[in-house]
Amino acid sequence: MRILIRVVLWTWFLAALIGGQLGLLGRLSAPAVQGIFFGLTALLITLCLGVGVIRTWIKTIDLRALVLLHVSRFVAYSLLVLYRRGELPAAFAIPAGWGEIVVAGLALLVVVFPLSESVRHRACVIWNTVGLVDILLIVAAASRLGFSQPWRFHAWRVLPFSILPTFLVPLIIVTHVIIYVRLSTPAADSNRAAA
């Protein structure tokens, strides 16, 4: 199962990369791009929670790996760079950039800081909540501003940033859901200290 999941993830990543290289998102309207993002996210959540084999596999994932995936959110520094270049609106880039940088830094602390098992579990729940709220606020802001100022989000439709709505952000949202599932099940007890 692990090999199949890896193949699916790499295939998805490569499809997002090829789509970005071909400029496919650049040819779509803002609602179509958002539809792709929301569709991918809904499909992933449905698969993770609705398919028994995948649910069983999720119970075996090391929580550290799930949390450490969110270190990739340091990429949000580039949102601040795009804002400074005038390629993203301040109302989006500044809160999104700094929020994501904070969440990425906290992910590192949750994993590596020496904490007792119960304190680490609480820290992981708090971090996961903050991280999920942050990414949902970013998605809401991007959706709202993307409709009213679609030209300001052109950078999100070309590489390297087209990977965000077509791969990384849906994966981040889904891992938040998986982390909640893991932390609320008895199977998480053995991995709490690892998370």
141-153 per-position pLDDT tens digit: 988 887 777 777 7
Q: What is the mean pLDDT of residues 25-46?
A: 89
Q: Residue 127: is its pLDDT beyond 80?
A: yes
- Per-residue pLDDT reduced to its tens digit, 49-88: 888 888 888 888 888 899 999 999 999 999 999 999 988 8
Record the pTM.
0.87
Number of domains in the chain: 1
Specify the pLDDT at position 148.
Answer: 78
Residue 139 CB burial class (10 angstroms; 0-12, 13-18, ≥19)? buried
| Tokens, residue 31 | 């609602």
Boundaries of domain holding 174:
2-191
Burial of 25 (0-12, 13-18, 19+ CB in 10 A): buried
Interhelix angle 30-50/169-183, nearest 10 degrees: 30
CA 181 to chain centre: 16
